[in-house]
């Protein structure tokens, strides 16, 4: 009996000891957790990073965004979207990368020079936005972010396309520019999920890009008005944005892209549609002088002309009778013919959505009032 009692007491002591040990371990873990948070908050205070707050901004669909770092434990540990905009930070502390629930990290215009290898801890990260900083390299540890689908790196100090990006197979969208013209490697074919690429200062497009199921591509001209070689390898594109300058002429290869549904022209002197083989549904135009043969786009459903210096719309625009949306924005010098006014009326009767600046609309209505008999 005494033996059993001694045994029971010993068992009880062991259980109590284990419980105390577990308590101590738990206490240490919580203490350590609190310490890294306090260090992070101190860093945020020293760098004048505010508490998590709403910033009004009409450029966002939601009307604004949350900016800053939360100052409560619960909010910090559950944080999924973190934005730091317009603060002066050269480097992120290692404690920053304990925010392992982050899905979106957006650090913009902060003078960030280095992205730590600790970024590998952010296993849930889907979008990484690092635009307008001082980065020139990326850590190899980025390849361990297997959920990363978007990375934005424009307006930094990269000389070449970062090699590590070729290893992140989950990427769907890359936005980048470099200090000097640089080639895109044949390794681009490794990015089998890539659907959108915006690469400024690219000099050569490799043929291997044609193996990808590209949807969107942003094509930039260089300062001499020359587009990269290899444009023909983008023939499977559905959506293409072409950014030119006052020296640039449209690359003829794009008018052979049979899958194009959306085409955006930005910053050209003249746009001339050479044939009617394109089955475009949407076109957006920013132009200085002239648009020619727009009426050839008989499949067009949405037309946007914005911030352009043209004084007249092309005469054949009135052939676009199946438009579902027409946007005319910031066309300060524009005038309209009587036939074009009749065209506006026809579009309105067909319930085409007319999104027209008030000043332009006033010109149209005044013209309709003054020349009512001639137009109708």
Between CA 163 and CA 73 the distance in angstroms is: 37
Between CA 187 and CA 208 the distance in angstroms is: 8
In a domain, 322, yes or no: yes
Percent of residues, the chain, with pLDDT higher than 70: 89
Summary mean pLDDT of the chain: 88
In a domain, 167, yes or no: no
pLDDT in tens, 262-298: 999 999 999 998 876 788 999 999 998 889 999 999 8
- The residue range of the domain holding 299 is 261-376
In a domain, 232, yes or no: no
Mean pLDDT of the region 205-233: 93
CATH of the domain at 324: 3.80.10
Pairing between β-strand 64-67 and β-strand 53-56 as defined by DSSP bridges = antiparallel
**Nearest CA among 68, 73, 75 for reference residue 49:** 68
In a domain, 214, yes or no: no
28: three-class secondary structure by DSSP: helix
Close Cβ partners of 29 (under 8 Å, ≥ 6 residues apart): none
Q: Please identify which residue in the block is written with the tokens 């730590």.
A: 116
Which pTM was predicted? 0.83
Mean pLDDT of the region 106-123: 96
146: three-class secondary structure by DSSP: coil
In a domain, 299, yes or no: yes
Q: What are the start-end ranges of the E strands in the chain?
A: 53-56, 64-67, 81-85, 104-108, 127-129, 150-152, 173-183, 196-204, 216-220, 239-243, 262-272, 282-292, 302-306, 325-329, 353-356
pLDDT above 70 (res 361): yes
In a domain, 112, yes or no: no
Between CA 151 and CA 169 the distance in angstroms is: 12
- Residue, of 19 and 86, whose pLDDT is higher: 86
pLDDT in tens, 184-197: 999 999 999 999 99
In a domain, 318, yes or no: yes
In a domain, 364, yes or no: yes
Percent of residues, the chain, with pLDDT higher than 90: 69
H or E, element range at 339: helix 338-349
Between CA 225 and CA 160 the distance in angstroms is: 21
Mean pLDDT of the region 159-182: 95
Could you give the number of structural domains in the chain? 1
């Amino acid at each position: 009996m005494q033996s059993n009692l001694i045994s029971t007491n010993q068992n009880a002591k062991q259980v109590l000891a284990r419980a105390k040990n577990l308590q101590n371990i738990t206490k240490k873990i919580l203490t350590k957790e609190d310490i890294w948070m306090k260090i992070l908050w101190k860093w945020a205070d020293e760098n004048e990073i505010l508490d998590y707050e709403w910033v009004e901004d009409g450029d966002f669909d939601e009307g604004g965004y949350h900016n800053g770092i939360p100052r409560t434990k619960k909010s910090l540990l559950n944080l999924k979207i973190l934005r730091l905009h317009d603060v002066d930070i050269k480097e992120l502390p290692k404690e920053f990368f304990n925010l392992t629930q982050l899905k979106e990290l957006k650090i913009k215009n902060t003078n960030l020079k280095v992205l730590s290898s600790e970024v590998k801890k952010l296993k849930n990260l889907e979008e990484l936005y690092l635009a307008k900083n001082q980065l020139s390299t990326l850590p190899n540890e980025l390849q361990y972010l297997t959920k990363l689908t978007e990375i934005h790196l424009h307006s930094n100090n990269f000389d070449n396309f970062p090699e590590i990006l070729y290893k992140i197979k989950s990427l769907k969208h890359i936005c980048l520019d470099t200090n000097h013209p640089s080639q895109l490697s044949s390794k681009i074919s490794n990015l089998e999920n890539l659907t959108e690429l915006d690469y400024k200062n690219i000099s050569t497009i490799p043929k291997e890009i044609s193996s990808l199921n590209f949807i969107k591509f942003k094509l930039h001209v260089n300062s001499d008005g020359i587009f990269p070689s290899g444009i023909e390898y983008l023939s499977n594109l559905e959506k293409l944005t072409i950014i030119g300058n006052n020296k640039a002429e449209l690359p003829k290869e794009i008018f052979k892209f049979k899958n194009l549904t959306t085409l955006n022209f930005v910053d050209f002197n003249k746009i001339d549609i050479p044939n009617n083989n394109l089955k475009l549904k949407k076109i957006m135009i920013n132009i200085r002088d002239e648009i020619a043969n727009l009426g050839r786009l008989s499949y067009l459903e949405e037309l946007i002309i914005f911030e352009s210096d043209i004084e007249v719309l092309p005469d054949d625009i009135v052939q676009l009778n199946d438009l579902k949306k027409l946007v005319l924005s910031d066309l300060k010098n524009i005038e309209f013919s009587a036939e074009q006014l009749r065209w506006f009326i026809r579009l309105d009767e067909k319930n085409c959505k007319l999104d027209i600046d008030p000043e332009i609309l006033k010109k149209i209505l005044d013209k309709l009032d003054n020349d009512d008999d001639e137009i109708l």
